Amino acid sequence: MNKLFLALDFPTWAEAEQFLRKHELEKIPVKVGMELYYREGPMIIEKLKEMDCPIFLDLKLYDIPTTVYRAMKNIARLGVDFVNVHALGGGEMIARAKEGLSSGGMDTKLLAVTLLTSMDEERMTRELNMKGSLAENVVHLACLAQKNGADGVVCSVHEAEQIKKACGESFLTVTPGIRSEKSATHDQKRIATPAIAKEKGADILVVGRTITEAENPKQMYETMIKEWEL
């Protein structure tokens, strides 16, 4: 799979829709996160399906296994392409998420967030008191996710190669923190360009502000796709 999902980080559907239409980006794969989903609810998924957009619903569930199972049963009905949990919720939570999702019979793929791309090794050690290197922890969480039924993980480009080695080629690596050579890093710490993502074997790119805040979003989108597909 070789896809770029645009992070639709807008406060309302009206703003997201206006952006997509203004820049002729209808029908592209999109990621809906907490900001938009908590405002608009499931309606947003219907609207994007009407536009024929592949959808990654990025809600990052993290709760006790039963609660996640029940929430996933509801999410399963939406028929999105991807949904995710935090791998740090543990194996049982991931397995119950998969169970809840499977009840929908819609072939939604389950991803597990390893360590957020806004986290670096220094803060992981100092603030979270986690031992080992960041890459070791990410690969460990990827293996845990795989063992418990996840179809792939959200990680940074920099761990994609090691995850593929540990979990196999078909285990998906979905990578946010994508930036062009010149764009601002914002709050992201583990960043990479689409060209590096390709080199490292990442399957799916997630790009938000580099495109949505660009002077010419359509041109930036096309440039990133080109760099990714070359």
The catalytic residue positions are: 58, 60, 63
Cβ proximity to ligand LLZGTKA7: between 7 and 110 the closer is: 7
- Dihedral sign, Cα of residue 54, residue 108, residue 140, residue 167: negative
- The residue among 105, 101, 79 whose CA lies nearest residue 150 is 101
Among 4, 6, 7, 224, binds ligand LLZGTKA7 (CB under 6 A): 7
Cβ proximity to ligand LLZGTKA7: between 9 and 161 the closer is: 9
Footprint (CB under 6 A) of ligand LLZGTKA7, residues 164-183? 176-177
**Residue 22, burial from CB neighbour count under 10 angstroms (0-12, 13-18, 19+):** exposed
> What does DSSP assign to residue 215?
S
Region class of 202: left (phi > 0), else alpha (psi between -120 and 50), else beta: beta
9 binds ligand LLZGTKA7 (CB under 6 A): yes
- The residue among 110, 103, 96 whose CA lies nearest residue 60 is 110
CB of 179 to ligand LLZGTKA7, least distance (A): 7
Within 13 A of 31's CA, how many CA atoms are on the CB side? 25
Cβ proximity to ligand LLZGTKA7: between 71 and 153 the closer is: 153
The three-class DSSP label of residue 43 is helix
Binding range to ligand LLZGTKA7, per CB under 6 A, among 11-19, 92-100, 204-212, 219-227: 204-212
CB of 103 to ligand LLZGTKA7, least distance (A): 25
> What does DSSP assign to residue 106?
S
Among 25, 53, 206, 224, binds ligand LLZGTKA7 (CB under 6 A): 206
207 binds ligand LLZGTKA7 (CB under 6 A): yes
d(CA 158, CA 34): 25
Q: Which residues bind ligand LLZGTKA7 (CB under 6 A)?
A: 7, 9, 33, 58, 113, 116-117, 154, 176-177, 186, 188, 206-210
Question: What are the binding residues for substrate?
Answer: 9, 31, 58-67, 117, 179, 188, 208-209
